[in-house]
Structure formats: structure tokens, C-alpha cells
């Protein structure tokens, strides 16, 4: 991922004369937030990079420094590590920095390192911690017994982040949460998506027949893969489910009860996922997402999206042009939208995905840093 060669050098390499720290939560097997972090690092290549820890299955070529947590059992239990995260971010390093930029989906935005009077703190937010602020969206925080703990964490989250000078949000949905939970404004900078890779599939992949509906993502409750199975059954169309997660057994049990073919693709490679996108009639996405890279990847392959008219899909899908969005949980309500989506222009769908290239993201990040740091 690199900035366009037509971008002025000052914009492409902001803060070149400043000491910069770039921090991220924990670094897992590369997912959406990790892609954002690595893309941001290309904008400020001289920055020191910090994470709480790197997961055992995480592979990254860049030099990233881990916190003391990486040497403890806490790295294997995020729930137990949660109360210690704010303190860890405050004691991350004794180095002094002119600018600290965080990539935050938990408490990285509370990091306060450097000179309290001189250091500029900027935070790119994937979402305020969902299990703290939006337990209805994240089962990890949904237990009623955790309500008192959430209240303490919410108060701490607000208090410990007062020093942040500027926020950027990955979507309008997250911008609204930042305003609602923290009382702060944020500019929207959509994440980078590898649209060139997904759109430039080999000819034999692009020319395949579109034969099935597709669901992609982690097999967890709030992604609503059970609803996808019921939608496919109602539409009497085959379904492919790609991903992996704790709901696998339940989903296989439900799939065995419907009278349409349901195939499971367990943790497909990126290459295989591209093939699946190109072979799909439509991507089913009846879930509330902060942004959602998967629907953009699908559109890069000319595959329309059928999903909820909520959250990030309102920004990434142009209804009746690149997909169909609706507010419904009744599988029967999706039958006509699925049929309508399959008739949409693949060229228009692919063109829409071009709004979310890594080049666009990096140019917007560079402008934000230049203006706010």
C-alpha cells in the first residue's frame, strides 16, 4: 500500500521532522484494524511502533515494540488484561515524542506518553470499545453481571482520554458513537481496502458463473449467519459461508435442516476468498458493522450486497445501484431484494469500491496529520 505518486511529497510524508510514536492495541493475525495500522505506518515510516502484544499467529515484517504485557499470561486473555490496559498505555515508554498517533478499538487512545505540555495526541478510532460501550453489539460485554464493571471502565475511558487533541473515525457510525459516548467531534476517514487485488482476479476467476449467495466473516452471533441460512432457504438459492468461529456447530446444524445446499469454507485464503466473491450472485450482510471491509471487497469483484440499512453499509453500499439495503429480520423479506440485487450493474458496483483504496486512505491520513499535529 503506497500513496499515489502524484501526491505532493509534503503531504505524502508528514511529520518527517517530528518524533512520532504510532501505537495499536494488540496485534492479531492480520485483520481490518491491523491493515489500518500498517497502512498508517507507511505514511509515517520513521515512527516508533508500539502494541500491547503480538498474538502467536500474527505475522508482520515491520519492527513493532511490545509492552510488558507481552511477557505475561495476560496476552492470552484479553478480558483479564482489560483493567490493566490504561495503566500499560501510560507506562509504555520513557521516550519523548512530539506526536503520538493511536489506532484504537479498546483503550489505545488513552495512551499518554511524551511531554504533557508539548506532545500532540491524535487517535484513529475503529470504534469505542464495543464490549464496554455497546454490549448489545458484542457478546463479550453482554452479561448483566458486568454492568458495574462497564460503568467503571466507561468513566475511566472518558477521563483518561481528555488529552487527545484530535479524533478520526473510520465511519459515520463510529463518528456518532464518539460524539455520544465521549462528547467529542471526529473527522471521518474510511479504512483502506485492497480493491485492486480483489478486482484484478485472473480471467478464469472473473469469467466463472455466479451460482450462489455468499456470507463472509467470523462465525459469531452478531454477524447473523443463521439469518443468512434462512434467507438462502427462503430464496431457494445455494449458500456458501466462508470464515470460522465459535458458532460453527450451530450453523452446521441449522444448515442441515434447510432444503438448499449450504457449503462451509473454513478460513479460506485471500486468493480463495477472491474466487468466492467472483462466483457469488450477491453477498449477504444482515449485520450492524462499524464500517465493514468485506462488503467493499465484494463490490470490488462486481458482487452486489444485500444487507441491513444500518451502520457502515450506509456508507459503502449505494442502494439499488451496488446493492439493496433494508431493515428486516424476516427471511422472506429478503427474497425480492436478492433477486433485484442480482440484476444490478457489476461495473457500477466495482466503480463504487474505488472510493476506498489504500491510496485514498493514506492521502486522507496524511492530510489529517499535517493539519492536526
pLDDT at 27: 82
Nearest CA to 34 among 216, 196, 192, 200? Answer: 192
Nearest CA to 14 among 358, 361, 360, 373? Answer: 373
Q: Cβ distance 157 to 139 under 8 Å?
A: no
Q: Cβ distance 315 to 289 under 8 Å?
A: no
Q: Cβ distance 288 to 137 under 8 Å?
A: yes
Domains of the chain plus CATH, in order, are 9-192+357-372 (3.40.50.2000), 195-355 (3.40.50.2000)
pLDDT at 19: 94
pLDDT at 9: 45
pLDDT at 102: 96
What is the 3-state secondary structure of the chain?
Answer: CCCCCCCCHHHHCCCCCCCEEEEECCECCCCHHHHHHHHHHHHCCCCEEEECCECCCCCCCCCCEECHHHHCHHHHCHHHHHHHHHHHHHCCCCCCCCEEEEEECCCHHHCCCCCCCCCEEEEEECCCCHHHHCHHHCHHHCCHHHHHHHHHHHHHHHHCCCCCCEEEECCHHHHHHHHHHHCCCCEECCCCCCHHHHHCCCHHHHCCCCCEEEEEEECCHHHCHHHHHHHHHHHCCCEEEEEECCCHHHHHHHHCCCCCCEEEEECCCHHHHHHHHHCEEEEEECCCCCCCHHHHHHHHCCCCEEEECCCCHHHHCCECCCEEEECCCCHHHHHHHHHHHCCCCHHHHHHHHHHHCHHHHHHHHHHHHHHHC
Torsion of Cα atoms, 269 then 28 then 191 then 22, to 10°: -140
The partner residues of 215 in beta bridges, in order of sequence, read 241
pLDDT at 12: 55
- The tens-digit pLDDT sequence of the chain (373 residues) is 444 444 444 345 789 999 999 999 988 766 788 889 999 999 999 999 999 988 877 666 668 888 888 888 888 787 778 778 888 888 888 889 999 999 999 899 999 887 777 899 999 999 998 878 887 766 555 556 567 778 888 998 999 999 999 999 999 999 999 999 999 999 999 999 999 999 999 999 999 999 999 999 999 998 999 999 999 999 999 999 999 999 999 999 999 999 999 999 999 999 999 999 999 999 999 999 999 999 999 999 999 999 999 999 999 999 999 999 999 999 999 999 999 999 999 999 999 999 999 999 999 999 999 999 8
Amino acid at each position: 500500500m503506497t500513496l499515489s505518486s502524484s501526491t505532493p511529497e509534503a503531504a505524502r510524508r508528514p511529520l518527517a521532522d517530528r518524533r512520532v510514536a504510532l501505537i495499536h492495541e494488540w496485534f492479531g493475525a492480520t485483520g481490518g484494524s491491523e491493515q489500518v495500522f500498517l497502512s498508517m505506518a507507511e505514511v509515517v515510516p520513521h515512527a516508533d511502533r508500539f502494541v500491547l502484544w503480538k498474538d502467536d499467529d500474527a505475522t508482520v515484517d515491520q519492527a513493532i515494540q511490545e509492552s510488558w504485557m507481552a511477557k505475561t499470561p495476560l496476552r492470552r486473555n484479553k478480558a483479564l488484561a482489560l483493567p490493566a490496559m490504561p495503566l500499560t498505555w501510560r507506562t509504555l515508554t520513557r521516550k519523548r515524542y512530539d506526536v503520538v498517533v493511536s489506532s484504537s478499538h479498546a483503550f489505545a487512545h488513552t495512551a499518554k506518553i511524551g511531554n504533557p505540555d508539548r506532545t500532540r495526541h491524535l487517535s484513529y478510532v475503529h470504534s469505542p470499545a464495543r464490549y464496554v460501550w455497546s454490549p448489545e453489539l458484542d457478546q463479550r460485554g453482554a452479561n448483566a453481571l458486568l454492568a458495574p464493571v462497564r460503568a467503571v471502565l466507561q468513566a475511566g475511558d472518558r477521563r483518561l482520554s481528555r488529552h487527545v487533541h484530535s479524533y478520526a473515525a473510520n465511519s459515520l457510525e463510529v463518528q456518532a458513537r464518539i460524539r455520544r459516548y465521549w462528547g467529542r467531534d471526529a473527522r471521518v476517514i474510511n479504512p483502506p481496502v485492497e480493491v485492486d487485488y480483489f478486482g484484478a482476479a485472473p480471467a478464469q476467476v472473473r469469467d466463472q458463473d455466479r451460482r450462489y449467495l455468499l456470507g463472509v466473516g467470523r462465525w459469531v452471533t452478531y454477524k447473523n449467519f443463521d439469518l443468512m441460512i434462512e434467507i438462502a432457504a427462503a430464496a431457494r438459492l445455494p449458500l456458501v459461508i466462508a470464515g470460522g468461529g465459535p458458532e460453527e456447530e450451530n450453523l452446521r446444524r441449522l444448515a442441515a435442516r434447510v432444503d438448499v445446499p449450504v457449503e462451509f469454507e473454513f478460513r479460506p485464503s485471500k486468493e480463495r476468498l477472491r474466487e468466492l466473491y467472483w462466483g457469488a450472485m450477491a453477498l449477504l450482510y444482515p449485520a450492524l458493522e462499524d464500517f465493514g471491509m468485506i462488503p467493499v471487497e465484494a463490490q470490488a469483484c462486481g458482487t452486489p450486497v444485500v444487507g441491513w440499512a444500518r451502520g457502515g453499509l450506509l456508507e459503502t453500499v449505494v442502494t439499488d445501484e451496488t446493492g439493496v439495503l433494508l431493515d428486516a429480520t424476516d427471511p422472506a423479506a429478503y427474497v425480492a431484494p436478492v433477486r433485484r440485487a442480482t440484476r444490478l450493474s457489476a461495473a457500477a458496483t466495482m466503480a463504487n469500491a474505488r472510493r476506498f483504496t489504500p491510496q485514498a486512505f493514506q492521502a486522507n491520513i496524511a492530510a489529517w496529520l499535517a493539519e492536526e499535529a
